Amino acid sequence: MRVSVLGAGAIALALARPWNTAGHEVTLGVRDPSRAPDVPGVRVRHLPDALKSPEVTVMAIPAAAVPDICTRYAELLAGRIVIDPTITFSSGGSPVMHQHEPLEQVGVRYVRAFSTQGPEVLAAPVIDGETADQFYTADDDQARDLAAHLIADVGLRPVYVGGSDRVNIVDGVTRLWFSLAIKQDLGRHLSFRLLADLQKGQG
């Protein structure tokens, strides 16, 4: 799969490395390739070049930058499957969450994923012998299937929650993560596991 990951921070690298290992064609899209970290097997391109032909694009950039990216590259994003892992914060430090609105306005096929835990879990998704779950939403069947594939290739177990009308439900899991990992000081290598027979509902 051709995957463009916008950004070169902790989340971007925690996703790019396992996807490259799984055999995907991964490109980091950045403003200045000369300053990007060297990840063996992962290409680095100027951001607009990285947006030209991916099957999936991941917005692993600061949330505040997403509206500008949408404005600048609306034609390249329209109709694309875009995964949004961004988290924004209120002035009081509480997570406000997703960037669904600016992405929806340019006509992407929206996926909310990789937002319910930190990069520590993405890098090591097995905790005390249990594989962490990744709760996610997707707008259509193809986006759902591709997202599930990419989630599994990171080492997480995909748990589909619904379409974009369920984004705030997924973000509730993120708020719980922040409450436990940060405010209760349980540590950032913390995630969640759904106890259910997923064969009945997930397919």
pLDDT at residue 130 tops 70: yes
In terms of residue numbers, what domain contains 63?
A: 2-193
Q: How many domains does the chain have?
A: 1
What is the pLDDT at residue 95?
A: 60
What is the pLDDT at residue 97?
A: 80
Angstrom CA distances, 17 to 91, 120, 146, 158, 172, stand at 33, 13, 17, 18, 27
Whether 199 is covered by a domain: the verdict is no
Q: Output DSSP code: residue 144.
A: H
Query: In degrees rounded to 5, what are phi and psi of residue 55?
Result: -80, -30
Whether 161 is covered by a domain: the verdict is yes
Q: Is the full-model pTM beyond 0.75?
A: yes
Q: What digits encode the pLDDT tens for the residues 143-201?
A: 999 999 999 999 999 999 999 999 999 999 999 998 999 999 999 999 999 998 866 65
What is the pLDDT at residue 50?
A: 97
The domain that contains 91 carries what CATH number?
A: 3.40.50.720
Whether 151 is covered by a domain: the verdict is yes
Whether 46 is covered by a domain: the verdict is yes
pLDDT-based confidence at residue 91 (cuts at 50, 70, 90) = low
What is the pLDDT at residue 197?
A: 81
Whether 202 is covered by a domain: the verdict is no
DSSP of 17-83, one letter per residue? Answer: HHHHHTT-EEEEEES-GGGS---TT-EEEEHHHHTSS-SEEEE-S-GGGHHHHHHHTHHHHTT-EEE
**Which residue, 8, 19, 52, is CA-closest to 147?**
19
pLDDT at residue 125 tops 80: yes
- Amino acid in position 116: T
Q: Which position has the higher pLDDT, 203 or 113?
A: 113
Whether 201 is covered by a domain: the verdict is no
What is the pLDDT at residue 32?
A: 95
User: Cα–chain-centroid distance for residue 156?
Assistant: 12
What is the pLDDT at residue 196?
A: 87
DSSP of 164-199, one letter per residue? Answer: GGGHHHHHHHHHHHIIIIIIS---SS------S-HH
Give the three-class secondary structure for 105: helix
Whether 203 is covered by a domain: the verdict is no
Whether 8 is covered by a domain: the verdict is yes
pLDDT at residue 94 tops 90: no
What is the pLDDT at residue 198?
A: 66
Q: What digits encode the pLDDT tens for the residues 36-80?
A: 999 999 999 999 999 999 999 999 999 999 999 999 999 999 999
Q: Output DSSP code: residue 91.
A: T
**Interatomic CA distance for residues 29 and 51, integer angstroms:** 8
